[in-house]
Structure formats: C-alpha cells, structure tokens
Chains A and B, each alone.
Chain A
Amino acid sequence: MRLVVASGKGGTGKTTVAVNLAKSWGSPVQLLDCDVEAPNTRLFLGGTMLESQVVTISVPEVNEALCNGCGECSRFCEYSAMACVAGKAMVFVSMCHSCGGCSLVCPTGAISEVESRIGTIVTSSFGKTTLLEGILDVGSTMAPQLIRRLKSLVKSGVPAILDSPPGTSCPVVTTMKGADFVILVTEPTPFGLHDLTLAVATTRELGLPFGVVVNRLGIGDDRVHSYCATEHIQVLLEIPDDRRIAEAYSRGELMVDVLPEYAGLFAGLRRELEKR
C-alpha cells in the first residue's frame, strides 16, 4: 500500500500525520520525506543513519568538434537549456530537465550525456520504520527528478507513507502519482479550506481516491466540514487543537508516544486505511 499525505496549504500537519501514522503502524513501514526542498521528517524521529547516496541526473554535453550548429537541439528543448549561436550549441545545465531529447535529435552525434548532481537520499532506521529522505541541493530546481528517484527505492510488500511537499505543483503531482490513497490534511480555517479545494481538484484530476484529516479542530469555523459533506469527501480523522500536542511537539515528542488517546485515534486511522 502506498499512502500519500498531502495538503495544499503548508503547515497544516502533513509531517505530523505522516510520522504519527508511521509510528503507530505496528508492523514495518517505509516513510518517505518527499518535501525535498525542505525535508524535516527526520527531526521527529532521530534514529540511525544507514546510508547516504548522491543523486544525479543526465544532462547534455556538446562535443564542439562534431557540432555543426544546426540548432536542432535548441529548437527541441522545451526548457531553453540549449542555445545555438555562432555555429555551436551551448548548454545551461541548471535548466535541464534531463529528458534526453537533444541527444536524440542531434544529427551529428555531437551531444552525449554526463551526470550532474541534484541532491542526496538519506536512509535511516528507527524501530520498525525506515525513513527515506530526499534532500535537494541548494540552488537546484529539479525536485520532481529527486522525488522520482526517492520513490523508485520503495520496497514492494512493505507499506509506504509518502510525506508530500505543500502546494499542488509538479513536486506534489510527482509525489501523488501511483498512490493507492491520498490523505489530505487541512485546518478548519478559510485559508485551509481554500487550499484544500485546490488539493482536492489535483487529486481528482489524477484519479486517486482520497480522504481528509482535519487538524487543529476547534479553531476557525465549520466550512471545511460543510465542504466535505457537500462534496461527499470522507473525513478520516479529526485532531483537536490541543495544547498538549503542541507542547509535546516543542519537546520533539510525538503525540502517539506521549498522549495515549491519540495513539488510539491514529490506530483507528490505520484500520480505516487498511480497509481500502
């Protein structure tokens, strides 16, 4: 089973839900931090680092002796990573999305591919949970490529919980693709609702089944609940706006570890998800 925890709005509690769900899973589970531009899942877990691997993507390199300046590569490149002036092609590596098209359309075989680093993937272990954390290099914009690599490391047969970046753009879509179920975490505020509707539209566009977790219940108003009722969206879990959760969080503790009633809530969420 592949579960994606996403939100639309940032700061609604995606990582909180992902980590607490993983911790209360009981059997071995894989947790993926797909928020590669600002990964923070490991902060909640500690654990032992097992492995760190460098992630690269293939980018073009021009052999100027073979380049005849025809410009096919730069006309093909959707991202302007190739330009062709003064009779020679030139490459802008930071713009390259690694599609490989330029080397295919080059009629003289002047373009070969070389590896360019975009980030790292760190694997850690704590108890029954294996954390795979994607860390995009500062300055790189190739989050989807790193997320795809991260997802390729998931072992089949062991449930995986993917902690998504916020928003609804390419990194989120990349994280969501192939999910068996998406958990959309929101807060019951106008801002939370607004971005929830965007996340719902994205999830529906991808044709994925989903449900909603309402975090910090008690703040804001009841419009998120009205929206979910109107749209026939199941509210899977409600987490109250409980000061004790924030206090535990500020000490680096998880609610399922220190507040028994929430361990019960998350166990219920797990049972609900396993029905699917």
Chain B
Amino acid sequence: MKIAFTTTGDSPDSPLDPRFGRATGFLVYDTDKDAFEAFSNNQNLNAVQGAGIQAAQNLASLGVEALVTGHCGPKAFTVLSRAGIKVYNTGLATVSGALNAFRNGELTAAESADSESHWV
C-alpha cells in the first residue's frame, strides 16, 4: 500500500506541509518496501488554478491509496474520492510523526473536504 504525505522537504523528518494542491512536494511511503520516494509538486505550485485537481490526479496515477495532509479542498477531495484515495487530515509536525500516527490507527479518514474552495 502506498501512502502519500505532503511535505516541504524530502526526508521522513521533514515538516508535513499543511497544503495539499500547492504542497512543495510529496513523500510516498510504500508499506511493502518500507521505503519513501519523493515527488516534486513544482508544476502545481505555480498553477494558475486547479492545483488540487492536478495533484490528486498525480497521486492517483502513482497508485496511492491514502493521503495524509493538513487540509484538502472540495475539488481535490472529489478527485481523490473518485480515485479511491482516502484523505487523513492532521496537524502533526513531521512526516514520520504522521506516519506513526497513521500506523497506530490514530488518524481518521475524512468524509469531506475540510477547507473552502479558492475558485468557487
């Protein structure tokens, strides 16, 4: 199973980025391999609109099944849901901290977006 974390860095000790669509990048943890892989989100960081939609689509194409992030807007949430990716919102500080919480079952899958749309 692949779990994506939004982050401003590229290692498990890096801060969890509270933004989803305009996160600096993603760390994808593969539970089978017990390994992280980093992906840049630069393209969406500079997008005029639709950053969340694109980021969600990218995670779907990576085969991610769970997303751990700070906040997620309605359009991104719609795409993630359609792709079968569960969203876990957390205020935890680091990727490794968020992964531990996820493993311990301390995070609950969101039923809806937790932030407002920027573009109606």
Contacts and interface: CB of A to CB of B under 8 A. Distances in A.
A81 B75 CA distance: 10
Q: Determine the interface band of chain A, counting residues with CB < 8 A from chain B.
A: 10 to 19
B100 interface: no
Contacts of A84: 57
A141 B48 CA distance: 13
Interface in B68-97: 75, 78-79, 82-84
Nearest to B59: A85
A81 B78 CA distance: 13
B82 to A, nearest CB: 5
B83 A85 contact: yes
A153 interface: no
Contact of A140 (B75, B84, B120): B120
A86 interface: yes
A83 interface: yes
Among all A-B residue pairs, the 6 with the closest Cβ atoms: A80-B50, A85-B83, A85-B60, A80-B53, A139-B120, A83-B79
Interface of B: 47-51, 53-54, 56-57, 60, 75, 78-79, 82-84, 119-120
Given A81-B50, A86-B83, A95-B119, 7 more contacts: A83-B56, A83-B57, A85-B60, A86-B60, A95-B50, A141-B119, A141-B120
